[in-house]
């Protein structure tokens, strides 16, 4: 075997090594991307669960939430402040989730559930009122997402969040 053949064989082996390295790297990148999406989803779900926990753990806040989402004007000034900050938290979390979805860091199936919750939340008259006075605090993209949701004439469907009539 001459030196040229030996050199060509070495180059072929090196090329195969590079190909295997690229395949391995692509798999690692794909795996890391999946892990990042899962971590993002879990983080956002945890944030939402913290808000749910705050409401469910505090009877006074639960009462303010129930009363205010159905009738904003029935709240006294202090209750309006408390509910306003709570609703703001919800919308900030939804906005972050929406941005993560737009950037492909939240998968469609997870976002579909989040958006269903957002649709329901936006049906409450008190939430509609709140949004109408504070929508400019959110990104144009979020405003465009929420606008048709608060404009729908549909009533909320979650009976447990409706005050007795």
Q: Which domain holds residue 86?
A: 36-161
CA distance 154 to 120: 9
For residue 5, the 8-state DSSP code is: H
| Sign of the alpha-carbon torsion through 25, 31, 36, 39 | negative
Q: How confident is the model at residue 41 (pLDDT cuts 50, 70, 90)?
A: confident
Give me the sign of the Cα torsion angle 147, 148, 154, 158. Answer: negative
Q: How far is CA 157 from CA 120, 135, 161, in A?
A: 7, 24, 9
pLDDT (tens digit, 9 = 90+) per residue, 60-115? 999 999 999 999 999 999 999 999 999 999 999 999 999 999 988 888 988 999 99
Residue 9 inside a domain? The answer is: no
Which two structure tokens, joined as six digits, stand for 115? 């958006």
Q: Is 78 left (phi over 0), alpha (psi -120 to 50) or beta?
A: alpha
Overall pTM surpassing 0.85 (yes/no): no
Average pLDDT of every residue of the chain: 86
Question: Is 141 a domain residue?
Answer: yes
91 within some domain? yes
Tally of structural domains, the chain: 1
pLDDT over threshold 90, residue 132: yes
Asked if 103 and 111 count as a contact pair (C-beta separation under 8 A), the reply is no
97 located within any domain = yes
Q: In angstroms, rounded to a whole number, what is the distance separating the alpha carbons of residues 80 and 67?
A: 10
Query: Which is higher by pLDDT, 104 or 25?
Result: 104
Q: Is residue 41 part of a domain?
A: yes
HEC-encoded secondary structure of 106-160? CCHHHHHHHHHHHHHHCCCHHHHHHHHHHHHHCCHHHHHHHHHHHHCCCCCCCHH
Q: Is the residue at 155 inside a domain? A: yes
Residue 125 lies in a domain: yes
Q: Is 5 part of any domain?
A: no
């Amino acid at each position: 075997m001459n030196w040229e053949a030996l050199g060509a064989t070495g180059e072929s082996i090196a090329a195969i090594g590079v190909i295997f390295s690229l395949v391995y790297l692509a798999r690692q990148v794909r795996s890391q991307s999946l892990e990042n999406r899962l971590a993002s989803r879990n983080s956002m779900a945890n944030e939402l669960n913290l808000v749910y926990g705050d409401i469910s753990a505090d009877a006074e806040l639960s009462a303010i939430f129930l009363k205010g989402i159905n009738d904003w004007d029935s709240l006294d000034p202090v209750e309006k402040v408390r509910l306003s900050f709570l609703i703001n938290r919800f919308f900030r979390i939804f906005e972050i989730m929406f941005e993560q979805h737009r950037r492909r860091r939240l998968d469609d199936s997870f976002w579909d559930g989040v958006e269903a919750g957002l649709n329901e939340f936006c049906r409450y008259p008190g939430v509609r009122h709140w949004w109408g006075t504070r929508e400019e605090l959110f990104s144009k993209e979020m405003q465009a997402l929420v606008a048709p949701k608060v404009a729908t004439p549909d009533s909320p469907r979650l009976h447990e969040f409706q005050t007795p009539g």
